[in-house]
Amino acid sequence: MNEKVITVELEQAFHRIVEASEKLYPLFLDDERRDFSSAVDLLTHKVIPLLRHECPILVAVTGGGSVGKSTLFNFIAGGKYSGVKSRAGYTRRTLAAIHPSVVCDKARMGLLFDLFKKNALPVPIKMPDEMLAPGEPLYVESPKIPEQIAVLDTPDFDTGDKDEFANRDAAEEILASSDVLVYLFTNQTYNNKANTDFVRKAISGIGRRKVVLVYRCSAAYPDDEVLEHVYTVLRNIFPDSTDPRLEALGLYRMDESDAVVKGEADPTIRPLGEGPDMVGLITGLDVVEARRACLRSQCAAIMAKMNDAIEKAVLRRWELVAYRDSVKVLSSHAVLGGLKNFPQGLVMEKFAECWRASQPTLVRVAHWPGRKLTQLVDFFSKKREPVQLSSSEEYKKKFLEDFRDSIAKLLSKLSQPALSVEVSSASAETQGLCVALQNLVSQHVKDYGFSSSGKGKAECSVPKPSLLKTTLENEIQEITSHNKEEWIGRAASIACLDTDLVKDINDLVHDTRNKLSFWEKSKEGFWATVAMLPPIAAVTWTFCTYEPVVGTGVAAHLSALFGLGDLWATLAIPASLGLDVANKRFLEDGLKGLYEKWFDRKREPILKLIEENVTDRCIRDCVSLLETTEAPLSRLREAVKNIRNREGRAE
Ligand SMILES: Nc1nc2c(ncn2[C@@H]2O[C@H](COP(=O)(O)OP(=O)(O)OP(=O)(O)O)[C@@H](O)[C@H]2O)c(=O)[nH]1
Ligand SMILES: [Mg+2]
């Protein structure tokens, strides 16, 4: 394949990385995002443009405040271009010394200024004092600088008070784009840990840069003492190197001089040991090799950062999945908390009434001589309209009590630092939650817990996702203080009996009657007993498998509540009814469908109310983050894999 095609494909893969990465930013905490975006910036502003175009390499003079950076820069560039003052922190922007032929070339200048990542137009410096104002980089034409090199005067990285560094951000940004650093330090700063830490990160942050060390010190210091100090710096900025002396391109000393301060002389810079003079070293750099080495190591570092970002994004998405699904399970539990009593007496009474209304006239009259005339009239006139049920105040009161209690428990759970949830591992919907939690626990992410509690159930502990912690805390606070009575009242109306259920009761009566054998038909009077069932029957909820509770009961199967697997409601039929085994079975079979229909009909709208008024607000951000980052994450994975495969083939 020819080189052009390879370059285009590589460029496309890099563009895909940039595009996908930017969409993943919301998954990272501030520090992580800064770190990740600096890699993306480098890719955008340096690696991609330099795949096709040539541009001078950047040699940046760096160091603490007032160490003499601008003095050294002016010396290399051959003029008094940059402002020099005794006041530390004077230089607040970048000044680039560029060969005049580059300055004339619009395309190269555009590319060069794009490397500064400011999207700035190239503007020449007019007065040295312009360096005092923060702002976009400026340039100065310097015939002394070779065409393939741009030398940069940069802001210091250590002036300011406490943790507030005045110019550090500006320094960091420009050093990240540079290829070679000239680090200037003094006797006061050579062993300053904060300074050497900064330089170490600048040199090896994203990709490795070459470095030249210049020690400004008294001319009276002997070379061996000066070298010892320089080695200390080398050891601090290359702590992992077996021989730090080999890491620098060159080591120099710059003598303190009042003549330099007065502007009467150039600084004297001497190599420590054998080697070219400093300006000779810089202007004679093998620029192709320097750029290639820098780009190669920057690409490798960017890819490593992308892998880290993918891992972190996956982890963050697990946190979001775990929280979203746990909240959904809690909503389901809240529904059950509201529906923990079944208006059995009311339904049974209506069932018996419908049953009687559907009896052949003779049987009906024989069994129920006291029936209301209106119903007989209805029957004979074939007007078999479903009987309307009036809501039972007693049941409504009970429901409100249960439901308020259930919502209070839900809110209290949501406001805890970590959600504590029991899920059915058999439930297909919670597979994602279980996998996410197992992964988070195995990666020792703080406060996550997942343990099997037997019988197909698992106990989960799910803290608020780190990304949304503060937003969620405020949101939950708001929900808690929000007026709940209005929608809780609506839930009560839903829970009470309705005309649809009456229709179901009528249908069930007709279905049952059609299936009855002659013997069963003869037991018409049996149904009168069901009206004796207690008005409110407590429901026992069982997940996963139906396990009959002690005594006689009707087990209704309830499906489609998130994360609860097979859900069964067991309602006891009191022994006091005195039913024999056959009749008990008959009652159970007949009523099962009715119970199921009742639960299924109430479950959905009550869940919807809980979601709309409580839980949707807690998971809204989780859901949207999961949606917007899913495709970018797989695109990033794909693009990184593509580049890795290329590297593999190239090796
Ligand atoms: N004695 C002595 N003073 C120097 C030498 N080089 C620079 N200076 C003085 O140190 C002070 C700071 O020099 P600059 O070149 O402005 O230092 P800088 O590192 O650019 O400072 P900032 O831009 O403020 O970070 C000035 O007063 C210089 O004249 C030197 O070799 N010897
Ligand atoms: Mg300066």
Alpha-carbon span 74 to 80, nearest angstrom: 5
Per-residue pLDDT at 303 exceeds 90: yes
Q: Transcribe 151-190 into DSSP letters.
A: EEE---SS-EETTEESSHHHHHHHHHH-SEEEEEEETTTT
More confident residue, 522 or 77: 77
Q: Whose CA is nearest to atom 6 of ligand 1?
A: 68
In this structure, what are the phi and psi dihedrals at residue 563, rounded to the nearest 5 degrees?
80, 5
pLDDT(5) > 50: yes
In this prediction, residue 70 carries a pLDDT of 97
CA distance 215 to 230: 7
pLDDT at position 315 over 90? yes
Q: What is the pLDDT of residue 574?
A: 65
63-67, 81-85, 190-194, 420-424: least confident range: 420-424
**How far apart are the CA of 343 and the centre of ligand 1, in A?**
89
Residues around the ion ligand 2 (C-beta < 5 A): 69-70, 91
Say if residue 370's pLDDT is above 50.
Answer: no
pLDDT tens profile 94-152: 999 999 999 999 999 999 998 887 677 899 999 999 999 999 999 999 999 999 999 99
Confidence label for 381 from pLDDT (cuts 50, 70 and 90): very low
Please check whether residue 375 is in contact with residue 386, taking contact to mean a CB–CB distance below 8 angstroms: no
Domains of the chain and any CATH numbers = 53-285 (3.40.50.300), 313-633 (no CATH)
Segment 574-589, tens digit of pLDDT: 665 666 676 677 667 7
Task: Give the percent of the chain with pLDDT over 70.
Answer: 86
pLDDT for the residue numbered 404: 94
Q: Whose CA is nearest to atom 30 of ligand 1?
A: 256
pLDDT digits (tens, 9 = 90+) for 449-492: 999 887 778 899 999 999 999 899 998 888 877 778 889 999 98
Residue 500 pLDDT level (bands cut at 50, 70, 90):
confident
Ligand 1 centre to CA of 256 (Å) is: 10
Region 305-330: mean pLDDT is 96
**What integer best gives the mean pLDDT of the chain?**
86
Q: Which of 71, 74, 195, 218 to mutate to test the pocket of ligand 1 (most atoms within 8 A of CB)?
A: 71
pLDDT score, position 499: 72
More confidently predicted of 362 and 421 = 421
Pocket test for ligand 1, best of 66, 183, 221 (most atoms within 8 A of CB): 66
Strand residues in 187-265 grouped as ranges (E):
210-217, 250-255
- Residue 346's pLDDT is 75
Q: Which atom of ligand 1 is nearest to the CA of 67?
A: 19
- In DSSP notation, 302-343 reads HHHHHHHHHHHHHHHHHHHHHHHHHHHHHHHHHHHHHTSEE-
Query: Across residues 265-291, what is the average pLDDT?
Result: 93
Q: What is the mean pLDDT of residues 257-281?
A: 94
The reported pLDDT for the residue numbered 369 is: 38
